[in-house]
Structure 1
Amino acid sequence: MTITSPSTYRLYSLQAATAQAYSTVRRHLLPIILPSALGLGYAPSPGDADISIQWLSKTLITAEVIPSHAKVTGVECKGLDGNRGMVGVMTRVVVIYTLDTRSSSNSNPNKDSHELHLILKKSNDGRDSRLGNIISRQCREAIFYSSDIARSLPTTLLPKVYYSHGSYWLGEYVILMEDIKQRRGHTEAGDAMELPVDLNFVFGNQIWGLPPSIDPKTLPPAAQMLEQVFITAAGIHALHWNDSRLRKMDWLKTTGWYRGADRTRWEWSVQAGSEAWIRGKARAAGDEYDVTYSEKFVKVMDESFERASWDILQRRLQDPSVPFTLSHGDFHAANMILDRSRSSTSLDLAIYDWSEVCIWEPTTELGQTIISDVAIPVFQEHVRSALRKYWEKLIELGAVKPTEYTFGTCWNHFLRGGVEKWLGMFAILSSMPGMPAKGMQFFHDQMVAFIELAEEEEGITYDITAVPCFAPKIK
């Protein structure tokens, strides 16, 4: 399959160049139009090195994050450890503020100083970054946080968001939100509870291992956590199971595909994945990249890309027997945090990075979690029982009837969807500069084990359906 749409690509390129020119002018004019000396301020934009204290103070007071009489005295932006974002950049923002203590003349000023940690997520600046965001529509996360559909989810499940801006036209987004890892809880005796922890650490952080700061003894068993992830997903999925209103939300990633539109974007992404996989196989065949792909795996990848077509996708999406719901879209453990602020023994989850939020077949993202994070012996032994808990939760919440959506159907869709979710991602990662060979070997081994799990069932084949949105460069 070869896509020949240079006019569309050039139109997007022109849009990105215009957006970059506008943003450059904006960066120079805003400090002049809204000078800090007048007590004004302006929201941060991609490419900005600093944050306006005046704007930040007003934003936090309006959101009731800090008291109305608080005075922000300093802001420091720090990089995040392990920040491996592929599209944007995340920064920890440390806000220093004081409270008005004029009523206490003997108050020690040092005791009045407070520190607040926030997370600032921004798209990268530059024409190429804007072009990528325009094509992939990464600004949907900012739109999601401001939407009614986000407000329908449990408040503890999402980070508290204090500012969100997303523009398809400019190919940019800016989100200021709470640092979930700063959530604190105390026992009845007043003792501090365990701090929130990245969920990938609970599963062992398979590629990189646990950092010295993490004590494995404080973490729940991986099998227990897997079950809780699936039950949490059931709660999200049940809210909008086969909800036709989702198809009217144009900002969701896959809305156009469900309506039979946006074909070029999907075919571009498939072509980008196919070309990346060709380069990835060549890379693996060389002597400088220590990775081995099995014949079985290469056959699945090759046949899936050879067979990929818009018609196959449409038959799947329009099939009334295949359910759909609101999906996170990138449901792996590095996008989840075990929140222990309410109880050190509870398994509450917080989920962030909703940049791929979409309509999709529900069990697909559960399979993504397994392949991305869960050790093979753990998922081989426990995944079927965990999925049954998911299915039973859907029934309990009234999303499905067991006679209409049997566990056998749920299981088969899960086995197919997990692999299909990873086909396009694996292809892109296989030739990505800087991707370590041990990472690709891990994902390969995970996918093969998952495929072998599916071989116990009959009639499961894999098609390219869910894809990361990229565009091949067209000259």
Structure 2
Amino acid sequence: MELEVWLVYGWATLVDVLTQVWYKLCPPSQPTATCTTVTPAFMRRLLNLDPTAPLTVEQGALSENRGLSNNMQSIDVQIDGVQHRFMLKSNMVGQRRVRAMGIFFNVTRESRAYTFLEQRNMDLSPKMIYANASAWTGSSCIIMERLGPDGICGVNMYFGNQCWGVPPFAPGAERPYDQVARAVMEAQARLHASDWCNPALLHGSEFSWLKSQGWYTGHGRSQWQAGFEATANSWQRIRKDLANSGTKWDPKLVALIDASMAATTWDSVQAFLRGAGGQVFSIVHGDCHASNMLYDLQRERVVMVDWSELAVWHPMTDIGQFMISDVTVPVRRQHEKAWVRHYWEQLCANGVQDYTWEQCWQDYRERSLERWILMLVLLVGMPLPPVAKQYFHDQVAAFAQDHAADVQSILLGPTISILSSALEG
């Protein structure tokens, strides 16, 4: 496993050097992850405009971006005095470990996800108008419509996104968060219901690009191992000096993480999936938190961005990630059962059958922590502000106290594709 990771890293280093040399000799005429410049000539070709049409392009950093591993830019295009808004997203392949991560974890998934969602008319994402992505080079650059500012507000505005500080006021942010949370549940239900327990998700070649599909049939061990080992190594480093980690750890949560790490192996995950029986599965967003969601005030609907983790897995991991990431403990305790009930009702309205409310609530309690235990370890091991690390810890600890007080360990599945810890460790 370690050899495979370093072979990928070596290939990424070679590609990075060759790309820099090639671009100096032949500057690209269209945006790439390495050279993200958007020219008026390129936009004319992309939008199929008259070459003589008056057009200006202004490109800059996207001020509302709070992502950890991607470059986000705004693109404002003036055509005959009318402004058109777009945003460019690229992975930061100038960092070779990011390029290696893109190769190892299939960086093309996000551009394929936008095409997939548009073909299905799911109305869950902005429209993508350009993609330049390659699994061979680990690079991705996409351009999509930029929604707002009129009538659009980031969902994180409603919940405060407390770990980064309360965002500036935005139009519509005074709306009740209960209304917005229900819209989040409705969007998730539409996504999850679209292929609810569809056997083709596990075996169909048309879904082979989805993260974790192969795990259900015993394939993709190297990708799973890389993600899990990155997390396990990070936890070992944190665990050695827990008192000086900068985070005040809850002893019960530490014990739960210890036991979960020890209980999780490729073989135990395989045994769990093969003995799934009545377990449900669906397409899941995979990184379902409020900063990846936008609320349309006029239509009272939520659209989502950052589809790079689109996967086949248990749908409740999406719901749990949203609840733990963004909803303060008092608000969650007051509303979570009503919100999860609304999600279940929307599943039923979208055609899901043979899934009772009792099973839905039990799944929420049992599966919500799975993704966040892995994410907590990765985030605490990253150079984030101490207040952010403590916030995430406290959110996870409170959920575990409320719903997993008697649980000895949790079998851990997919983690967000952060390979930097494995490559630096």
* Shared fold per TM-score greater than 0.5: yes
Is 1:320 the counterpart of 2:277? The answer is yes
1:386 Cα offset (Å): 1.3
Change (3 A) 1:364 1:75: same
Change (3 A) 1:322 1:70: farther
Q: In structure 2, give the amino acid aligned to 1:129.
A: V
Size of the alignment, in residue pairs? 418
Equivalence for 1:380:
333
Q: Which string of whole-angstrom CA distances, capped at 9 and with x for unpartnered residues, describes residues 97-156 of structure 1?
A: 33xxxxxxxxxxxxxx23222101112233332112112323310122223x5421423x
Structure number, greater radius of gyration: 1
SS at match of 1:473: helix
Show structure 1 runs of 5+ residues with no match. Answer: 35-41, 62-66, 99-112, 185-194
Is 1:131 the counterpart of 2:100? The answer is yes
Is 1:60 the counterpart of 2:47? The answer is yes
Equivalence for 1:416:
366
Change (3 A) 1:451 1:43: same
User: Among the aligned pairs, what percent are the same residue?
Assistant: 29
Equivalence for 2:9:
13
CA distance in 2, matches of 1:150, 1:315: 35
CA distance in 2, matches of 1:353, 1:466: 17
Equivalence for 1:39:
none
The normalised TM-score by structure 1 is 0.82
Change (3 A) 1:70 1:301: farther
Q: In structure 2, give the amino acid aligned to 1:178.
A: E
Show structure 2 runs of 5+ residues with no match. Answer: none
Change (3 A) 1:375 1:474: closer
1:246 Cα offset (Å): 2.4
Equivalence for 1:467:
415
Equivalence for 2:65:
83
Moved over 3 A (4+): 28-31, 67-70, 211-215, 281-284, 458-461
CA distance in 1, matches of 2:114, 2:170: 30
Is 1:181 the counterpart of 2:148? The answer is yes
Is 1:204 the counterpart of 2:160? The answer is yes
Change (3 A) 1:459 1:424: closer
CA distance in 2, matches of 1:326, 1:93: 31
CA distance in 1, matches of 2:39, 2:99: 23
CA distance in 2, matches of 1:462, 1:224: 32
Equivalence for 1:192:
none
Equivalence for 2:84:
116
Match of 1:92 among 74, 80, 93: 74
**Contact kept? 1:136, 1:470, Cα under 8 Å:** no
CA distance in 2, matches of 1:316, 1:256: 14
1:177 Cα offset (Å): 0.6
1:322 Cα offset (Å): 1.1
CA distance in 2, matches of 1:395, 1:260: 31
**Contact kept? 1:266, 1:469, Cα under 8 Å:** no
Is 1:161 the counterpart of 2:128? The answer is yes
Q: Which string of whole-angstrom CA distances, capped at 9 and with x for unpartnered residues, describes residues 403-429 of structure 1?
A: xx2222211211222111101111111
Is 1:351 the counterpart of 2:308? The answer is no
Change (3 A) 1:25 1:125: same
Change (3 A) 1:328 1:49: closer
CA distance in 2, matches of 1:70, 1:230: 47
Is 1:366 the counterpart of 2:322? The answer is no
CA distance in 1, matches of 2:408, 2:348: 25
Change (3 A) 1:290 1:459: closer
CA distance in 2, matches of 1:15, 1:275: 23
Equivalence for 1:189:
none
Equivalence for 2:263:
307
SS at match of 2:416: coil
Match of 1:170 among 121, 127, 137: 137
Change (3 A) 1:451 1:474: closer
CA distance in 2, matches of 1:10, 1:209: 38
**Contact kept? 1:454, 1:460, Cα under 8 Å:** no
**Contact kept? 1:253, 1:359, Cα under 8 Å:** yes
The normalised TM-score by structure 2 is 0.91
Q: Which string of whole-angstrom CA distances, capped at 9 and with x for unpartnered residues, describes residues 433-454 of structure 1?
A: 2x11111111111112211221
Is 1:337 the counterpart of 2:286? The answer is no
CA distance in 2, matches of 1:314, 1:360: 13
SS at match of 1:71: coil
**Contact kept? 1:53, 1:75, Cα under 8 Å:** yes
**Contact kept? 2:263, 2:409, Cα under 8 Å:** no
Match of 2:346 among 369, 375, 393: 393
Change (3 A) 1:160 1:412: same
Q: In structure 1, give the amino acid aligned to 2:411.
A: D
